[in-house]
Amino acid sequence: MPEFFWLASKTGDPSDPANWYPDQVPQAGDLVHMYGNAMLLTGPLLNATRFHIGSDGTPLTITQTDPVLELGGGIDLNLTVEGPSDKGSHVRIDASGSNTLNNLIADGPSPNPEDSGPSGPVTKASVELNIADDSVLTVNHLSAFAMKLNINAEGPHSTLDQEGTSRLIYENQDVVHITPEIIGTGTFNMTFANLEVGNFVAPTQTFALYGGDSLIVDHPDLFKGTVDFCWPWLNPDSQGCPSRRGREASR
């Protein structure tokens, strides 16, 4: 699979081959690495690529600033945030207009050595996702595993359209803040996670708590969602909770 590395040596324009190594614009199916610097992405230019953002500890990241990805509308991406344990960058994503992230994967190493997958110290990487006023960001699947995450509203009409099944696991080192209104039909599966919601939550949203979790509701009058307590001894009649937990849950 061809790999391309974002340099942004001249402009933040991804349609300029000079901003890439090798010096050509990635095509559908290519693997894109954005270790740092800024990119303004509009329209379908990179929609069919596999987009990785953030430092993974390679020498190329030493001279680059933390990455800032601006989604300017018409975006339909699969996005993975790099989450090494020994190094890590602060990833900022600014979304304006209407954009879709089919997958937003922000998985760090597991602090539990019994989980499948890599384990190790808590990652230093973090993700800040800002949704502009009068803008909608659709996320069809969010996976946050032991990585600091905040989703911020930049105005009173910032909207997160959360669809499908997402997971927050080992998100208890800090609190995940989601301040835009949350619409759509989706489920947040939570295990050892702290989540605070700061705006309207649609009645078609479900929060499935497996244990060691906290759900903080800033405005109870705006919270219309459902909360399921999923461990059998807490709610033996619950029908909506997946049976698996840990790294493999909700995939």
Tell me what pLDDT residue 109 has.
62
pLDDT of residue 146: 79
The residue ranges of the chain whose pLDDT is under 50 are 233-236, 238, 243-251
Contact assessment for residue 56 and residue 24, using Cβ atoms and an 8 Å cutoff:
no
Which pLDDT score is estimated for 132? 98
> Which residue, 207, 205, 152, is CA-closest to 216?
207
* pLDDT for the residue numbered 14: 95
Structure confidence at residue 119 (pLDDT): 54
Q: What is the layout of strands, in order, in the sheet containing 148-153?
A: 38-41, 68-71, 90-95, 126-131, 148-153, 176-178, 194-197, 214-217
CA distance 22 to 24: 6
Q: How many angstroms separate the CA atoms of 62 and 127, rounded?
A: 19
- In this structure, how many other beta carbons lie within 10 angstroms of the beta carbon of residue 117? 11
Read off the tokens for 117. 């997958």
Q: How far apart are the C-alpha atoms of 160 and 151, rounded to whole Å?
A: 9
Structural domain tally of the chain? 1
Burial environment of residue 240 by CB neighbours within 10 A (0 to 12, 13 to 18, 19 or more): exposed
Which pLDDT value is given to residue 58?
Answer: 61
| DSSP secondary structure, 188-221, as one string | EEEES-EEEE-S-B-TTEEEEE-SS-EEEES-GG
Q: Provide the pLDDT for residue 243.
A: 44
Q: Which domain holds residue 91?
A: 3-248
> pTM for this structure?
0.87
